[in-house]
Homo-oligomer: A and B are copies of this chain.
Amino acid sequence: MHKIFYPDSVAVIGVSEQPDNLAANIIYNMLEFGYSGHIHAVGLRSGVAHGIPILTSVDCLPDGVDLAVILTPAVTVPALMEACGRKGIRRAVIESGGFAEFSEAGRRLEEQVSQAARRWDMRFVGPNCISVVNMENGLCLPFPRLDRRAAKRGPVSVLAQSGGVSITYLLMLSEVGLGVNKVVSIGNKADLDEVDYLKYFLDDPGTEIICLYLESIEEGRRLIELAASSPKPVIVHKANTAQASAQIAFSHTAALANDDRIVSAALRQANVARAASFDDAMALAQGFALPPVRGGDLIVVSRSGGHAVIAADVVEARGFRLTPIPDDFLAEVRTMFRADVIALANPLDLGVIFDFDLYGQIVEECLRALHPDALLLVHTFSTGPESEMSRRLARRVRELSQTLGNTMALCAFAQREDVESLKPEAGPMVFTEIEAAVRALAASRDRHRRSARLLPLPSAPAQRPHEVEAVLAHAGVLTTDLALGLCGIFDIPSAEWAVVEDVESARVAASMIGYPVALKVLSPDVLHKSDVGGVVLGIEGAEALQAEWAALLARVEQRVPGARIGGVLVQQMLAGGCEVILGGKRDPSFGPVVMFGLGGVYVEVFEDVAFRLAPLTREDAEEMIAEVRGSRLLRGVRGEPPLDVEAVTAALMALSRLLAECPEVMEVDVNPLLVFEHGVAAVDARVIVRGQKT
């Protein structure tokens, strides 16, 4: 991978002297960005492009070229890869489109490209991408011409599943004063994919912050595990969340849609910040470029009372606390004032002070005396002398941040060029919207308050309890006794039950369990036992049991003639309790996933559910429960006693272990799990095991 970003020599293939030749733009860009290695050009006809002679064949290249950049029609690419391989080139960037994203024929071409690469042990970027930029060595391979002045070298590396978006990130990160280190547009990721690039960026010394734009995540689990292990801040901008965009994303880079709720949950577990838009990604990147915000105490200093009011709204919405300002501090600040017409508080409204040097002094006082976790300076100024004073203030604020180690954001409202002129002074501290500034500080706070806590999947499932094997010998939808039994093995309690074969045993079982009881038919041929009359609830005594037993078997035989009956479950009927639902499934990209919600209408009407990747830590399970709004019902509302949330937490963690340790289990639902003041009990469970039968 290193040679893709740091090649000593590059051959651009597809170059001509035509003024609209795109491959020639790649040469232009490398010259413009001052690429330090050798540049070669290959094309159909000989000639010269930007001073570089065009060779008419890959074979004419000197030996030892590190990287080929291919931008020719798709049909020519497999042969060119072959030629590069023969020539000893081991790295390629394929910018051409017309592959799997376009048609079935394109998909076959892409397969041929991959075969050629495998044959020659080559690794490649793309196809269908805009490619690679490295600001450290001037490697600049995009085919649209770029302006060196619009690209700033900085700490952020970008991985984008869209060429256009990769360029937007390059420009925007430069514009906000942060700058980029490396950019790669990954295209169809036929060979190298997001996991490979992320791994590289994690090790790359030039990369301090990583920003991923993704439209599909195929190796979700690996990506998330990698991100969770990252000491560098990772930002993910995941698009393709809507029904409508699924189609364009597919034709665009052959992407499939993910379940967005699972994506969000996984990113949360990996302590990765999710960007909702370009602007949001900029705010996050700026936030991560500042010294970490280690707590929730914030001071707002503002020149305008109105801006202070807006800031206070936003600060509260983002969960910060405005540090109370002690009276003696205010008394001291007042002595610096030219006029005494503003009531002092936090936000500190400095509207009556016209000497901005005093602002710096007050900010310093605030930091030294009050030790906030962050300080937001909202500044507004006019052009001319105020602008010059404001640049001095920006410089002062940056110096204070450096010497005192405090986190500060400077949100500036002024004419655009005056705001721009602050960026060279205070770099990524400068914001142009209060929301963005507070978002940045909040993202930093959240990142440092939490930590990634993704438990690894057990690699050897053999450690699981041996009783599991007998249950998982069955495939398809398990009967209720097996499903509840599997839950029981993993310590998810259920309402007491027994399997019986005849009515006599049923009566014995019921009397041991205690009435009322329920009867549930067990049959591999009955998928939905309620639907065929296979469930009777609330049987109050032995006489009723006798009658219901016969009626139940008759109904099942009538509705599913010849159904094999594996017995009947006699189960204790529990009174009271609050219904919750635990669920689990295997996501094709992210692997085992756990779901939690309240039973009844809450899941359906309020879509009030939480997801996490399994296995869960205790913190995850607690967070899932807290995330579901309706779970306040578990904590006791309207004077009712609080229920056993601890037991729910344990059951969730148990279910997550079940999924993690039993890769054969495709789906599991415990619905409902009843929650009591003391303990929980599963009343019904459904488990699907991988296999032929369904």
Contacts and interface: CB of A to CB of B under 8 A. Distances in A.
Interface of A: 20, 22, 74, 97-98, 101-103, 144-147, 150, 160-168, 171, 175, 213, 215, 239-245, 247-249, 251-253, 277-279, 302-313, 315-317, 322, 339, 341-343, 345, 347, 349, 351-352, 354, 380-384, 386, 413-416, 433-435, 601, 604-606, 608, 629-630, 632-633, 637-638
A38 to B, nearest CB: 25
B164 A307 contact: yes
A329 B315 CA distance: 50
Contact of A252 (B168, B213, B305, B322): B305
9 contacts: A163-B304, A164-B413, A168-B413, A213-B306, A242-B312, A248-B312, A249-B305, A252-B309, A277-B433
A368 B345 CA distance: 59
Given A144-B386, A162-B309, 20 more contacts: A98-B341, A144-B382, A145-B384, A147-B382, A147-B383, A147-B384, A150-B416, A160-B306, A162-B304, A168-B413, A171-B414, A239-B313, A240-B312, A243-B316, A248-B305, A249-B309, A277-B310, A601-B637, A605-B633, A606-B630
Given A242-B315, A434-B277, A435-B279, A341 B102 contact: yes
A144 B413 CA distance: 13
Find the residue from A243, A252, A339 having the highest chain B CB count within 10 A.
A252
B162 A306 contact: yes
B97 A342 contact: yes
Given A277-B435, A433-B277, A215 B341 contact: no
Contacts of A317: 242
Contacts of A382: 144-147
Contacts of A150: 383, 415-416
Contacts of A601: 630, 633, 637-638
Contact of A165 (B22, B304, B339): B304
Nearest to A102: B341
A305 B240 CA distance: 11
Nearest to A142: B382
Given A251-B349, A433-B277, A313 B97 contact: no
A352 B252 CA distance: 12
A168 B380 contact: yes
B630 A347 contact: no
Nearest to A22: B354
Contacts of A242: 312-313, 315-317
B309 A245 contact: yes
Contact of A20 (B167, B309, B354): B354
A657 to B, nearest CB: 30
Contacts of A144: 381-382, 386
A164 B604 contact: no
B252 A164 contact: no
Contact of A253 (B240, B303, B305): B305
Contact of A629 (B241, B312, B435, B605): B605
